[in-house]
Structures are given as C-alpha cells and as structure tokens.
Amino acid sequence: MRTCMGCRESKPKQQMLRFVVDGEGVLWPDLMQKAPGRGIYHCMQEQCLRRMNDKRLQALKAKFSIVLPQWDDVLQRITSNLQQQLKRMLSRQRTTAAIGRDAVMHRLWNNAPLMLLRAVDAGDALVRQLDDGLEKRTQAGNKSLLLTVSSRHWLGEMFGRDDVAIVALDAAGSAAATVKKLQVYCVWYGCIKGVG
C-alpha cells in the first residue's frame, strides 16, 4: 500500500503512478516503478489530479529538495511518458489485434476474453452494434473489457493507421498481464486529458 501525495488515500502500489526526484529537484514519472531512489505516489484519479498544484507539492519539500513551480511541467511529462508507453505496448499488439468494425465484430464471436478500445468519437451505429455484441457475449458468459479512448485519430496513431474507431485485443493467457497494464495506462491517460 502507498499513500497518494495529493489526496492522501492509501491504495495498492500497482494502482498508483510512482514519481522520483532527480538531483536537480525535478519530479519524473516512473511508469515501470523501477527507477532508483525513494518514490512518491499519485493515485491518478481525475478529481485528485484537478486539485494538484505547486502549493500541494510544497509539502514534499520536507522530505525532498524539489524545485517549484513545476506541476504543469509534471503533467506534460506524465502525458508524454504515457503516450510513448501506450504506443510501444499497442504497436506490439498490431499483429494479433482486430482493428476496425468488421474485424472486431468477427472477434466478438470468439469465447476468449477481450479488451476493446473504442474511440469516444466512434459513430452511433458502431456504438449500438458493439453494445449489442457485448451484451450477447456477456449472456454467453464471455469476459469483455470496454475502454473509451480519446479519439479515432489517437487510436489510429497507436496502430499506425489514419483513423480507427474500434480495436479488440486478446486478454487471455500471456496477454492478460499486458492488458491489465494497458487498462491502467489508458485510464490514467484519459484522466489527464480530462484535466488538461
């Protein structure tokens, strides 16, 4: 369990973003939670991100020699690091991903657990068709996780295409751990975009 530097709530370490302070007093996100040094954690909940500012970072001066102001720069570093990590992780999934409406609808009929990434600006017809397919999967006892991502353009960029409204990723076996991390990173990225 770790305590969030913003809201002071305790949560499991795996659900929080770790930061380290470099020798110049700058906070850096440590997505992999492996950088040397003492860590500071943030829960990455949208309401907590909205409340964070340099005044709240002032409390860290008791334990770390940090430079202020820097919260706006920290948000930029988090966004950049998450964007890069998501692009790396999703580009590795290209060969096995079902990309686009037809491929995803076909994949919905498989029994294997799936993670679906749907763009917030996906068309209404696609949303209805997908909701119907997911309801049938649920009734059949098949697991599905649906995440809404920022845009068709962003999702297309992640998969090396122009615009993509929907993607399905296998979430079983060895892919389960990757999908779990993808879920966390997508949620964090969405929270930051909601604040920015």
Tell me the C-alpha distance between 28 and 81, whole Å.
10
Q: What's the whole-number mean pLDDT along residues 27-56?
A: 91
**pLDDT for position 77:** 94
pTM score: 0.86
Burial of 92 (0-12, 13-18, 19+ CB in 10 A): exposed
**pLDDT for position 119:** 95
Statement: residue 196 has pLDDT above 60: no
What confidence tens digit (pLDDT) does each residue in 58-84 have? 888 888 888 888 899 999 999 999 999
**pLDDT for position 66:** 87
Statement: residue 174 has pLDDT above 80: no
- At 182, the pLDDT band (50, 70, 90 cuts) reads very high
**Closest by CA position to 157, among listed 148, 149, 146, 168:** 149
What confidence tens digit (pLDDT) does each residue in 91-135 have? 999 899 999 999 999 999 989 999 999 999 999 999 999 999 999
Tell me the C-alpha distance between 172 and 165, whole Å.
23
Tell me the C-alpha distance between 141 and 123, whole Å.
27
* Domain chopping of the chain, boundaries: 2-69, 90-195
Classify domain 90-195 at the CATH superfamily level: Ribosomal protein L30/S12 (3.30.1330.30)
**pLDDT for position 195:** 58
Pairing of strands 114-119, 144-149: parallel
Burial of 87 (0-12, 13-18, 19+ CB in 10 A): middle
The mean-pLDDT minimum among 32-36, 47-51, 126-130, 172-176 falls in 172-176
Statement: residue 18 has pLDDT above 70: yes
Tell me the C-alpha distance between 195 and 76, whole Å.
12
**Closest by CA position to 33, among listed 193, 189, 181:** 181
Tell me the sheet residues that pair with 118.
148, 166
Count other C-beta atoms under 10 Å from residue 16's C-beta: 25
Task: Name the one residue in this structure whose structure tokens are 């929907």.
Answer: 166
